[in-house]
Amino acid sequence: RKEVEQDPGPFNVPEGATVAFNCTYSNSASQSFFWYRQDCRKEPKLLMSVYSSGNEDGRFTAQLNRASQYISLLIRDSKLSDSATYLCVVNTGFQKLVFGTGTRLLVSP
């Protein structure tokens, strides 16, 4: 089983739609969780951290369920510029980050 699993997509949505991505992780001792964004042929960049209480940053909401070892990212009012690959990332506590394979999002006009 992979340490971090994501649906690769692609998710094709129209502008203005709400879309949700899910991610599961296998190591119950994992300490912290993140969503990164990677544009085509570009390096990954941190989108947001994920806290147990859930956190929101504008149109983006991240949730963590430690009991189910599940992380989610919700994007509201999708923009064309949101088209990218979203990487679920887990800090396993061994001084390294483990990256999921990413979920590709395509927002169309």
Among 45, 8, 52, 46, residue whose Cα is nearest residue 30 = 52
Residue choice 7, 44, 55, 76 for contact with other proteins (CB under 8 A) = 44
49 binds other proteins (CB under 8 A): yes
Stretch that binds other proteins, among 11-19, 54-62, 73-81, 85-93 (CB under 8 A): 85-93
Other C-beta atoms within 10 Å of 6: how many?
23
Considering only residues 21, 25, 102, 107, which one is a binding residue for other proteins as defined by CB under 8 A?
Answer: 102
In the set 31, 57, 66, 80, which binds other proteins (CB under 8 A)?
31
Binder to other proteins among 55, 69, 91, 106 (CB under 8 A)? 91
Give the dihedral sign, CA 79/74/12/43. Answer: positive
- Which residues make up the interface to other proteins (CB under 8 A)? 31-34, 42-46, 49, 87, 89, 91, 93, 95-102
